Amino acid sequence: MIGMMRLIVVSMVTALVIIFISQQMGGFNAYASENSPYNSGYNHGCDDAGISDPNDRYINQPEKGPAFHTEEFMSGYDNGFESCKGDTSNENCDSSYPDVCIAPPPPDLNCDDVSYKNIKVEGNDPHGFDRDSDGIGCES
Ligand SMILES: [Ca+2]
């Protein structure tokens, strides 16, 4: 009878340990995925980088500033902000030259001013790289 009781207790403890471990692993997985402070920060940083008015940014809202976040969140925030800010700097690339990055005028550039040859040209070609309008600029 005592042996039977011990077996039941051991089984219950084993079951509890298994439940505990699986919860820990589940919790860890959730932490490591999109719910991590780093990723949360990254997403907010990326969003803020697209908001031109600093007053509208998440990080500048009451009780949302850096002091209210963990170091990990802010590390993600800074990286997200930098990455997404980089995307918007592509506005300096004229859309007439989709395969390369050439800023719109001014200054007005000539083919000798750019290192590219046989540039794909679309639209209004503000630099006049494609004089014969065949869609290819600075033919070599
Ligand atoms: Ca041409």
C-alpha distance from residue 103 to each of 76, 83, 109, 126 (Å): 30, 20, 9, 10
Q: Give the residue among 75, 81, 86, 73 at the shortest CA–CA distance from 47.
A: 81
* DSSP-assigned states of every residue in 10-27: HHHHHHHHHHHHHHHHHH
Q: Say which amino acid occupies 8.
A: I
The reported pTM is: 0.41
Which of the 8 DSSP states describes residue 119?
E
Instruction: Report pLDDT digits (tens) over 22-50.
Output: 776 655 544 445 579 999 999 999 999 88
CA of 90 to the centre of ligand 1 (A): 24
CA of 115 to the centre of ligand 1 (A): 16
CA of 137 to the centre of ligand 1 (A): 5
Q: Say which amino acid occupies 104.
A: P
Q: Give the chain's residues under pLDDT 50.
A: 29-32, 88-89
* Centroid of chain to Cα 44: 10
How far, in Å, CA of 92 to CA of 70, rounded?
34
CA of 128 to the centre of ligand 1 (A): 9
How far, in Å, CA of 140 to CA of 124, rounded?
21
| pLDDT on residue 31 | 46
How far, in Å, CA of 45 to CA of 51, rounded?
10
Contact 69, 61 (CB under 8 A): no
Domain boundaries along the sequence of the chain: 30-92, 93-140
